[in-house]
Structure 1
Amino acid sequence: MGETITLQRLLEMQKKVWNFKISADHETTELVAREQLKSFGQISRIGALIALPLTIYAMIMLFAHADLTFIVTASFYVAIVAFLSVRNFFRQLKLDPDTVDYKEAIKNIHIESIISSAGFSCVLAIPVAFGQIPYSLDIAILAMGGLVVGGFVFGSIPRAQTYNLSITTLCYVVAFLVAKGSGGISTAILLVFFALCIDYIYRLFFFNFVQRHMHAAKLKNSAETVRLLLNDYAEQSSDWLWEVDGEHLIVNPSARFATAVDMEIRDLRNLPLVDLFEESTERNLLAQCLSSGKTFRDIHVPIKIDGQECWWKLSGRHIKTATGESSHIRGVAADITSAKKAEERVAHLAHFDSLTDLPNRALFNQSLQRSIGRMKAGQKLAVLYLDLDHFKTINDTLGHGAGDIVLKAVASRLEKNIGIEDVVARLGGDEFAVSLRNVESDQDIRQTAQNLIDILSEPVMVEGQPVAIGVSIGIALAQEYGDDAEQLIKHADIALYHAKENGRGCASVFERYMHEAVQDRRNIEMDLRSALKRNELELYYQPLVNIETNESIGYEALLRWHHPEKGMIMPDVFIPVAEDTGLIVQLGEWVVRSALYEVAKWPEHLSVAVNLSPAQMRSPNLMPTIINALAATGVAPHRLELEITESVLMNDNQSNVELLHKIRSLGVRIALDDFGTGYSSLNYLRSFPFDKIKIDRCFVDEVDSREDCRAIIRAVTGLASSLGMVTTAEGVERSDQLSQLKEEGCVQVQGYLFSKAVPANNIKGRAEPTGNIEADVGEIGKKSAKVSRATPLRKGRRRKTG
């Protein structure tokens, strides 16, 4: 087994030698190549001296045996090759291998190898082939000598060596075979074998040559790296050596150590080491370590240098001598001031907001919990949870830089207008919190909150321009609602939500019913998420009546929820929750698909109206939903009417107008709902050519008793008529209202006077369904693009309850 392994290793070694190529980076490859040139330059001089007697002997044999033609030709050729060799010899003497173009130099050596081997071989090989020189042992020895000398001279450059050996061997083999015929075969074979052996031997030398120089290059690079590192350390290191005697007095202070402590060397001698540092527990620890006599590491000690506080890290141990341990202690000191400050900065950022430098949520919670724990009987503590009103609008319109300026201004105002013992924090985004300690009464708390609202409502100057801001505040009292900081903040957040629901810019104190309301909303949200899957939603339809004929011309689709436990839930309960959570997008798409599926069963003259929320208008899935539902049900596009409110156009006006134009290009009609309740309704009529204007019920309620209501309706109907739009009056409940609306020129009406919203089965002329409506609607839904998640909204459009 051992012999087999040795043979295998030998074969592998031979393979490496024959197929060896330099595989290294450019710098190492160039280094090896230049070493090849140096080696060739040295060896070629010796090779020239060795080749000289061989050439002389060859010429003697020519003069002894060959005729004049061969002698003259060979002499002339040898003279030319000799001249070139001498010239190259002197060129090699002047050549600097470190600066010459090494690629070009090696290429020239290849050419020289070919010329010299062909020249010197042919001097004897041609006369032998033509019988001018008798075939003899001398000729074979000269041939082998030529191989040895050629391999020796060109051995450091493998390709040149191969050219030389191959050409020399080929010339002599041909000469032997021509001169002796089959009798020269054995000599030719031996010569080829001898050439291969020489080639392998010199290739092995070259292999070792390259390995040696590559290893030297690596060592050189490593040594250079170490040298650079050592120089860098010596120049930039902040470490200093120190030494103290048995009394812990400084001995042999170095110049660098004296510079580091900003003192003279003479002042440092015999000074107690601990006296360099500031009074602190860390300095006491250093004194204990020095007295203990034990090795110590990484003791951080404060030190004043040039009036500034710095930090050093010290390590030390007793000096060992030939006779044992000395009483002296030697160690190293390093300046870690930057690292210490960075560590303090990280610790600061862990508890403070980076923008406003106020305590963050974690630190506020800890502080609040400590304050709660220290509360005494009869003491009051309150948490104010603040949220800036419409802060997102500032970021969107003026940029985040302006938003940061506003946040800093708010933080500054809060800090200046709270008590010394009170704590203000930024919880994140535009949310802040204040803990009021030792307040005397609930009235004081409310007054403080109102004062903060007034102060924070003052404009903030951003780049010379005033920016209006506002704030809503939720209040929770610790004495009344538990002693847990997280729970108190949660209650304040609930109260804040209540304040925002009540119109913003106000304060609201937490009460139990608010928590119950939040729980109810959360339960509604959870049930609503699965209501679609459980087929609990249903569309009711309220007729749109032509005021002249008293006939239904279409219906408005109104959503109902059949809850398995709570029964029928009206939209005014669950639609706000859907808008806050983003579920309104999914519900709205279901309404569009279901309404179109239903209208496909109605007589052709009936249409259906569907309300769109602002969130649906922002959904990229709205257009695919409408197109796919129309295609799947086969309903003519003009039978679908989409109703939007002014709030849709208020947000991202241009984008929404473009989307409405795309929807209208399908043939779908667009109606402006709740007309007259916004602040710029006429501008919206100019921005988009609506098909219909729906007059809000607030004008219809008293149209039969108030002249101003009649005047408004008269103006709206006249305006709509001139613009080619239809008018529909909502909420008609009395015949007197109907008569007045007819007199004022209204075209369509809807309301309880004609019918409440009814299930689809009650619609006159409706065809009986052929299958499960929910299954069919679900199939339509699968053809729509995947529903996008909408961003939850605080405020959405008002959904009709019908």
Structure 2
Amino acid sequence: MGETITLQRLLEMQRKVWNFKINADQETTELVAREQLKSFGQISRIGALIALPLTIYALVLLFTHANVGFIATACFYISISAFVSVRNFRRQAKLDIDTADWESILKDIRVESIISSIGFSCVLAIPVAFGQVPYSLDIAILAMGGLVVGGFVFGSVPRAQTYNLSITTICYAGAFIAADGLGGISTAILLVFFAICIDYIYRMFFFNFVQRHLHAAKQKDAAETVRLLLHDYAEQSSDWLWEVDADLLIVNPSARFATAVDMEIRDLRNLPLIDLFEDSTERNQLAQSLASGKAFRDIHVPIKIHGQECWWKLSGRRIKTADGESQHIRGVAADITSAKKAEARVAHLAHFDSLTDLPNRALFNQSLQRSIARMKNDQNLAVLYLDLDHFKAINDTLGHGAGDLVLKAVANRLEKNIGIEDVVARLGGDEFAVSLRNVDSREEVMRVAANIIEKLSEPVMVEGQPVTTGVSIGIALAPDCGKDGEELIKHADIALYHAKENGRGCASMFERSMHEAVQDRRNIEMDLRAALKRNELELYYQPLVNIDSNETIGYEALLRWNHSKKGMIMPDVFIPVAEDTGLIVPLGEWVVRSALHEVAKWPEHLSVAVNLSPTQMRSPNLVPTIINALAATGVAPHRLELEITESVLMNDNQSNVELLHKIRSLGVRIALDDFGTGYSSLNYLRSFPFDKIKIDRCFVDEVDSREDCRAIIRAVTGLASSLGMVTTAEGVERSDQLSQLKEEGCMQVQGYLFSKAVPAVHVEGRVADSATSEMKLTEIGEQTAAPKRIKVPKKIRRRKTG
């Protein structure tokens, strides 16, 4: 279907080209005709130059082969054609296209095309027909040349072009047939075909020529319409026109212009345009553009109107007249105040924090870099990296609205407690930064930091309620700690981490050793990630002893890391790293699976205790991991005891309590570890019925020497007994401690007095089943942490409380 449409369009175009006529009004027809004359005058001169070598070559052939009579006849025809060409040349030289009688001249051109084509064709056609010049390839080429040159010269006047091509073709075709008889018919036919093609090609050129000028005529009409519409533009448009003379004084001010600038028209006349605008670099740019006389676009200039700063956008160019370019400059102006304000707002948001209106990280970095570049040799600069202590608790308990009010108050206090040349910024979240320029000493920086800590520790009133937060600060000095902004911020961040490690609410100055500690921590993290794959982790077990019978009733699983190069690494080194990086979740899952696979080899009366971190409690894989491990090993759920600290219940209390109930419903026992060291232990005992309370070693250490420790343990054991909970004292190292604990009613103990943590092979009564003992830790780790829903055996679902 597409090909048919294309063919139809092609045929339609063919008809238009062959039968083209100008269907336009008299004015447009005259415009096209005068353009024809202009084009013919330019091309005919070039055509005469092209025809000259062809004529000379034709005369050479005649003088070589023809007799005197034919040469004389040829010269006669050439003289006539030359006369016509010269006449045409002289006429075109004197012709005034705009006033000439174009209809008469076009007729003359058509007549000239007939005369010139007869003259130039007969020069060779007659001698060839009578055998005076041999019929050859040269003659055919000359005939083709005559067609091309004739079509080229008269192409802008289609009828003259057709006359010229037709006469030339007939003359040479007749000569070929006369000279070669039947043999010349094919050449004549070919010549006719070429003539038709050339005629069509030049008609197509003329068709495009006319279409182009018709389009130009329409554009001229449109331009005129625009000119008429512009007549009322200055009064009705949202923009307005302005014009200045050669001295750049305002001329012809419109009412719209006067209204926009809030002045009278008479006051605007002969006023320098540049005087309207505020002194600025943009005004200087406008003045330079006006003075240069060159066209300009979209220059933004500030202007005061009604006492408020506004912005105009101006474009202008010199006025063109019939006599040439005028010295006047005319342009258009538009009020872009709203757009400029929006642009300024966007720029502000890109560099300032939307909540506190402090500089953001990007602007702080730029400012810091500039300050460093301007530092003199005897100057110091300090960067303070601040992080609010326990800010998350404010958001969690009081909501983000309260948190936002605290952040605003912190920003306000920081701005009030730094120097005029210093910069404070909000880097994101509850992190802030301060750059102190030109500080004298470390002591001065520490005094400023101490003052900030004091001010930020004061309560903030939120909806009538005092909210207290603290701050930790890390400090880096330039040039001692670096000469680059990013490096200083990084070192201040490292110092901040050190301040948090030292208990928060303090300031720490960066030292090179801190960077090494961070590197060590990073190395531990990388090695720890590989430790799971390299089977470097191992569980040690510390016995849990019944204080009355002195028998071992279970073990606590304690994680050890047997590094391939560094040897045994204790948990207090790598567990904090695992907590901070989130590695504690896969480590914890591995511990649960490994401990249950191990306890499956022990006698039935022995249980195993595993510690859970707060991060593990937030993992969705915790319950599926426990269920899968119990089902895979066949261990009774009551033989697994999970120990949690009070910090687990501090964060997201209700959610964690529900999770503990879900785990306990499996039959797994739950113990509260490090009891008495938190904030509200009694409340936690009320919110969840723990199976066991573990008394922290800080009370056990001096139970044999201090009455207050004995009183606390006595109270805890009594409370636990009333609630039906077992009490376990950890860290027992001396027999006197054991005796005192037994006297105060403690039920279970563990510590070095009985045994240190030992590898699994030292557990008494352990059965080394070959199929189980040969299982690698990697095989344990490969068990899915998020299994499909499984059916829990009845013995696992049955709740055990013993």
- Is the structural similarity TM-score above 0.5? yes
Q: How many residues align?
A: 567
- Aligned-pair distance for 1:555? 0.7
- Contact 1:628-1:783 within 8 A present in 2 as well: no
Render the CA deviation track for 1:38-88: whole Å, top value 9, x for unaligned.
xxxxxxxxxxxxxxxxxxxxxxxxxxxxxxxxxxxxxxxxxxxxxxxxxxx
- Aligned-pair distance for 1:466? 2.0
1:650 paired to 2:650: yes
TM-score (norm 1): 0.67
Task: Map residues 288-687 of structure 1 onto 2, 5 A cutoff.
Answer: 288-687=288-687
Tell me the residue number matched to 2:256: 256
1:780 paired to 2:783: yes
Render the CA deviation track for 1:229-265: whole Å, top value 9, x for unaligned.
99x9999953111122222222221111111111111
- Contact 2:693-2:727 within 8 A present in 1 as well: yes
Secondary structure at 2:299 match in 1: strand
Tell me the residue number matched to 2:702: 702
Secondary structure at 1:434 match in 2: strand
Aligned equivalents of 2:311, 2:6: Cα separation in 1? 66
Task: Map residues 35-54 of structure 1 onto 2, 5 A cutoff.
Answer: none
The amino acid of 2:403's aligned partner reads G
- Contact 1:694-1:728 within 8 A present in 2 as well: yes
The amino acid of 2:543's aligned partner reads P
Aligned equivalents of 1:614, 1:244: Cα separation in 2? 77
The amino acid of 1:645's aligned partner reads T
Aligned equivalents of 1:473, 1:407: Cα separation in 2? 16
- Contact 1:387-1:473 within 8 A present in 2 as well: yes
Aligned equivalents of 2:269, 2:8: Cα separation in 1? 67
Distance 1:323 1:375, change over 3 A: closer
Distance 1:313 1:747, change over 3 A: same
Tell me the residue number matched to 2:238: 238
- Contact 1:621-1:785 within 8 A present in 2 as well: no
- Contact 1:590-1:781 within 8 A present in 2 as well: no
- Aligned-pair distance for 1:721? 2.2
- Aligned-pair distance for 1:445? 1.3
- Aligned-pair distance for 1:451? 0.8
Secondary structure at 1:424 match in 2: strand
Aligned equivalents of 1:647, 1:783: Cα separation in 2? 26
Render the CA deviation track for 1:661-713: whole Å, top value 9, x for unaligned.
11111111111111222232222222222111111112222222223322322
- Contact 2:233-2:240 within 8 A present in 1 as well: no
- Contact 2:671-2:690 within 8 A present in 1 as well: yes
Aligned equivalents of 1:776, 1:253: Cα separation in 2? 90
The amino acid of 1:411's aligned partner reads A
Distance 1:276 1:410, change over 3 A: same
Q: Which runs of 4+ in 1 moved over 3 A?
A: 4-10, 232-238, 779-786
- Aligned-pair distance for 1:6? 8.5
- Contact 1:297-1:314 within 8 A present in 2 as well: yes
- Aligned-pair distance for 1:376? 2.7
- Contact 2:316-2:332 within 8 A present in 1 as well: yes
Distance 1:465 1:749, change over 3 A: closer
- Aligned-pair distance for 1:352? 2.0
Render the CA deviation track for 1:639-682: whole Å, top value 9, x for unaligned.
11111111112222222222111111111111111122223222
Tell me the residue number matched to 2:93: none
- Aligned-pair distance for 1:341? 2.2
- Aligned-pair distance for 1:782? 5.5
Render the CA deviation track for 1:608-648: whole Å, top value 9, x for unaligned.
11011111112221111111111111111111111111111
Distance 1:240 1:781, change over 3 A: same
- Aligned-pair distance for 1:507? 1.0
Render the CA deviation track for 1:281-304: whole Å, top value 9, x for unaligned.
332332332232222211222222
- Aligned-pair distance for 1:362? 1.9
Distance 1:687 1:465, change over 3 A: closer
Secondary structure at 2:756 match in 1: coil
Aligned equivalents of 1:661, 1:679: Cα separation in 2? 22
- Aligned-pair distance for 1:783? 6.2
Secondary structure at 1:746 match in 2: coil
- Contact 1:253-1:265 within 8 A present in 2 as well: yes
- Contact 2:731-2:752 within 8 A present in 1 as well: yes
The amino acid of 2:469's aligned partner reads I
- Aligned-pair distance for 1:324? 2.4
Gaps of 5+ in 1: 11-225, 787-802
Tell me the residue number matched to 1:78: none
More relative contact order, 1 or 2 (CA 8 Å, 6+ apart): 1
Distance 1:398 1:263, change over 3 A: same
Task: Map residues 190-269 of structure 1 onto 2, 5 A cutoff.
Answer: 237-269=237-269
The amino acid of 1:735's aligned partner reads S
- Aligned-pair distance for 1:548? 2.4
The amino acid of 2:667's aligned partner reads G
CA RMSD of aligned residues (A): 2.7
Aligned equivalents of 1:335, 1:320: Cα separation in 2? 26
Aligned equivalents of 2:457, 2:645: Cα separation in 1? 29
The amino acid of 2:767's aligned partner reads A
Distance 1:271 1:758, change over 3 A: same
Aligned equivalents of 2:718, 2:409: Cα separation in 1? 51
Aligned equivalents of 2:369, 2:731: Cα separation in 1? 54
Which shifted more, 671-680 or 567-576? Answer: 671-680
Render the CA deviation track for 1:433-458: whole Å, top value 9, x for unaligned.
11112222222211111111111111
Task: Map residues 12-51 of structure 1 onto 2, 5 A cutoff.
Answer: none
Distance 1:460 1:745, change over 3 A: closer
Aligned equivalents of 2:455, 2:272: Cα separation in 1? 58
- Contact 1:625-1:785 within 8 A present in 2 as well: no
Identity rate, percent: 85
Render the CA deviation track for 1:352-376: whole Å, top value 9, x for unaligned.
2222222222222222222223333
- Contact 2:481-2:510 within 8 A present in 1 as well: no
Secondary structure at 2:677 match in 1: coil
Render the CA deviation track for 1:519-549: whole Å, top value 9, x for unaligned.
1111111111221111111111111112222
Aligned equivalents of 1:310, 1:475: Cα separation in 2? 44
Secondary structure at 1:721 match in 2: helix
Distance 1:399 1:387, change over 3 A: same
Aligned equivalents of 1:7, 1:459: Cα separation in 2? 83
Aligned equivalents of 2:669, 2:777: Cα separation in 1? 26
- Aligned-pair distance for 1:8? 9.9
Aligned equivalents of 1:293, 1:696: Cα separation in 2? 89
The amino acid of 1:754's aligned partner reads F
Aligned equivalents of 1:370, 1:281: Cα separation in 2? 23
Aligned equivalents of 1:281, 1:675: Cα separation in 2? 71
Secondary structure at 1:532 match in 2: helix
The amino acid of 2:501's aligned partner reads E
The amino acid of 1:600's aligned partner reads A
- Contact 2:234-2:254 within 8 A present in 1 as well: no
Gaps of 5+ in 2: 10-225, 790-802
Tell me the residue number matched to 1:284: 284
